[in-house]
Amino acid sequence: MHRNGIEVNNSCSAVHLQPFYRRRFGFRPGIFPITEAVSDRILALPFHNHLRAAAAERVVKQLSSAIASVSRRQQNARAGKQRGSVRDAGSSPGELTGADHASDETIKGTGGAC
Q: Is the pLDDT of residue 109 over 50?
A: no
CB 13 within 8 A of CB 39: yes
pLDDT: which is higher, 93 or 21: 21
pLDDT digits (tens, 9 = 90+) for 1-41: 878 888 888 777 899 999 999 999 999 999 999 999 999 88
Q: Is the pLDDT of residue 102 over 60?
A: no
d(CA 1, CA 8): 7
pLDDT: which is higher, 114 or 89: 89
pLDDT: which is higher, 2 or 103: 2
pTM of the model: 0.53
Q: What is the mean pLDDT of the chain?
A: 74
Average pLDDT for 59-85 = 84
DSSP-derived secondary structure for 18-42: SHHHHHHH---TTSSHHHHHHHHH-
d(CA 90, CA 82): 16
